[in-house]
Amino acid sequence: MLPQIKTLDEYRQQYQASVDDPQQFWANIGAHFNWQRKWDKVLDWNFQDPSIKWYDGAQLNITENCLDRHLPARADQVAIIWEPNDPKEAARHITYGELHASVQRFANVLLNNGVKKGDRVCIYLPMIPEAAVAMLACARIGAVHSVVFAGFSAQSISDRVNDSGCRMIITADGFYRGEKKFELKGIVAAALQSTPTIEKCIVFNHRNLPVKMEAGRDLWWHEEWQKADAENKAATVEAEDPLFILYTSGSTGKPKGVLHTTAGYMVFAAYTFKNVFQYQEGEVFCCTADIGWVTGHSYIVYGPLLNGATTIMFEGVPTYPDHGRFWELIDKHKVNIFYTAPTAIRSLQAFGEDIFADKDLSSLRVLGSVGEPINEEAWHWYHDNVGKGKCPIVDTWWQTETGGVMISPLAGITPLKPAFATLPLPGVELLLVDEKGNEIKGNGVEGNLCIRHPWPGMARSVYGDHPRFKQTYFSTYPGLYFTGDGCRRDEDGYYRITGRVDDVINVSGHRIGTGELEDAISMHGEVIESAVVAYPHDVKGQAIYAYVICDKHIENKDVLYKDIRDHVTQVIGAFARPDKIQIVPGLPRTRSGKIMRRILRKIAEGDTGNLGDTSTLIDPSVVDTIKAEAIH
Ligand code: PRX
C-alpha cells in the first residue's frame, strides 16, 4: 500500500524529507510498485541539457501495476463505471478482472496489426471505456499513446499524427454529447488524407452511425477482437521508455508533443492521487475531465487504477438532459470524490440551488478543482452547496508538463483558503522569481512560478524536438523549470496562482496558444493578419478577443465573423472559436515591429482610460480607431 500522509505535521516532515534527500524519499515511494527489475539509480538529472532520469535501469510494465497486481484481491471489484451521455441508457460496470482481460486482448489486436514497442498510436475516441482499454493496451506492449481530444478538427489530428509519426489511429463511428452528434470516423477520414505514416485505422462501433470503411486500412474493433488471443504477457519496458505523448499549446508555434516516460510518471500519478484526494479503500472517484487532456490521463485512468480505485468515465455534459446532471451522477453512483473544473462550477452556479433539491449528495467526502484559477465566489458555492460545508476542496494546480498535481491541499489535512492552491506536494520545490530571474524570497510576495528540482512526473522532452523543450521551459530562467504562470505567496506561505504570464489563453480550462490561433485566423482568405488576446469572462474564466486586418472593405461583417469562427473550428476545433472579433485598420506595433498586446488586452477588457505609454508605437493613431470601434 502506498504511503498516505495523515496529519499536517506529517506533511511537513515528509515535505522536508523529500527536499533533504529526494532520492531516498522517492526510493521509499517506488518500493510500493511491481518492478520486473529494480532501478540502478533513483535520479540522474541536470536542467541544462536538460536530462532527467528517474528510476533508471528499472524495468516494469505500468499495466501490471494498474491491473495484474490487483487481481488477487479485486478481480471482481469495479474498476470503471461508465455513465453514458443519455441517462436513460444503462451505465456499464467493468471489473478489474474484465478490464485486465480487455486490455490483454486489445494488446493482441495491436500486435496483430503490426504495432510494435516504441510505435506511436493515436487515440481519437469519445469518453468510453474503450479509450482506457486502448491506452492501457498500448502501454501493455510498450507502444506510445497519443490521445487527441475528440473536439479537435481533422487538421489538428493530422498535424499531431504527422508530428509523432503515428502508425495506427483508433477511433469510433461517433458519439453524442448532449444533443450534439460528433461523427468521429468522418473527421478521421479527412485527417487521414494527409497522414502517410498511418497504416491502420481501428474503428469502435459505439452508436451504429453509418461510416465508410476504406479497405485495407480501416478495421472494425469487434472483428479484430474476435481474431485476437485472450492472453497477453506484459512487455518489459525500461523506466525511461516513453509512455505517452500529449499535445499542448504554448505561446508560439504549433502545439508541442509533451513526452512522458513510464516509471516516474507512474509513481507520481499514483502518489498524488492517493495523497491529494486522501483516497480511501473502496471509494468511488469521479473526474469529469476528458481523457484527451492530461487530467483524464492521470486522474481518470492511471492514478485511480494504480491505487485499485473505482473510477467513473462520464460521456456527457453537465447540462444534459438538465442542469442537475452532475448531481444526479453523484447520487446515482454514490461518488465519494468529485473532481471538476471551475468553469463547470460557474456555469451551474447560475441555475440556483433548486437543482439539488431531489439529489442525495451525502456520499461526497472530497471535492476537487483543476485547470484554471477558481474565484472565491465559485469556491464558496461549490463548498456550501455541493459539499454542504463538510467536504474539503482540493484546488489542484498542475500542468500537462508536470504529469500530476504539484500544489494542492491534502484533503482534510491542509487548512484551506478559498482560491488558494495552498502548499506544494512533497518533492515539489517551488520558487518565485522576478523578470530577471532573481529569486523573490519571503512571504507576501508575487512573481513568476518556477521549480528548481525534478519531480518524477515531469515531462522529459518535446517529442522530436528536444531543443524546443529546453527553449520553452529551461531557458527563460537558466537552471529552473519555468511554468509560465504567475503566482502569489501570501503571508502564510500559501500559493495562489494568478494565471499565465505568457501568451497562453485559458478558456474553460482549455489551453489555447495565441500564436496558433492567430495562424489559424490568418489562414482565412480575407484576413491579412490577426492578434488574439484574452479578456475576463464570468463563466469561462477567459474569453477570446480577436483583432483582424482584412485585405479589402467588408460589406457584411457578420458573415465574415461567422466565417472566421467556422474556419477556426475547422483548423483547431470549436473550443477555440473567438468570442469577439473586431476588424481593425492596423495593429499597435513598436518600431521593432512587435505588437503591443498590453494595449490590445486593455481594450478587450474595456479598460481604455489609461493605456499607458504609447509613444513607442509607429502609429499611435491606430489605437484611437481600435478603441472607438471596440466591442463591449
Ligand atoms: O495556468 C495554469 C492552469 O492551467 C495551466 C496548465 O494547463 P494544462 O496543461 O492544460 O493542464 C490543465 C490541467 C492540469 C497552468 O499552467 N491551471 C491548472 N490548474 C490550475 C491552474 N490555474 C490555477 N489554479 C489551478 N488549480
Residue 314's DSSP bridge partners are 83
Residue 525 to residues 194, 350, 529, 547, 548, Cα–Cα distance (Å): 21, 39, 11, 15, 12
Give distance in angstroms: CA of 284 to centre of ligand 1: 24
Whole-number Å distance between alpha carbons of 450 and 474: 10
- CA 244 remoteness from chain centre: 13
Whole-number Å distance between alpha carbons of 49 and 37: 27
- Residue with CA closest to ligand 1 atom 25: 397
Domain boundaries, the chain: 8-449, 450-500, 504-628
Give distance in angstroms: CA of 534 to centre of ligand 1: 16
Give distance in angstroms: CA of 206 to centre of ligand 1: 32
Q: What is the pLDDT of residue 520?
A: 95
Whole-number Å distance between alpha carbons of 66 and 504: 34
Whole-number Å distance between alpha carbons of 58 and 407: 28
Q: How many CB atoms lie within 10 A of CB 23?
A: 12
pTM above 0.85, yes or no: yes
Give distance in angstroms: CA of 575 to centre of ligand 1: 17
Positions in the chain short of pLDDT 70: none
* Residues recorded for the chain: 632
Whole-number Å distance between alpha carbons of 446 and 503: 19
Q: What spatial distance separates the first Cα and last Cα of the chain, rounded to whole Å?
A: 55
Asked: is 504-628 a CATH 3.30.300.30 domain? The reply is yes
504 with 534: CB under 8 angstroms? no
- Residue with CA closest to ligand 1 atom 5: 399
Whole-number Å distance between alpha carbons of 225 and 207: 18
Residues in contact with ligand 1 (CB, 6 Å cut-off): 248, 293-295, 370-373, 395-400, 421, 483-485, 497, 500, 506, 511
Beta strands in 77-132 (DSSP E): 78-83, 92-95, 120-124
Give distance in angstroms: CA of 398 to centre of ligand 1: 5
Whole-number Å distance between alpha carbons of 172 and 188: 9
Whole-number Å distance between alpha carbons of 112 and 116: 10
Q: What is the pLDDT of residue 195?
A: 98
Q: What is the pLDDT of residue 284?
A: 98
Contacts 24+ apart (CB under 8 A), 611-614: 614/588
- 8-449 architecture in CATH? 3-Layer(aba) Sandwich (3.40)
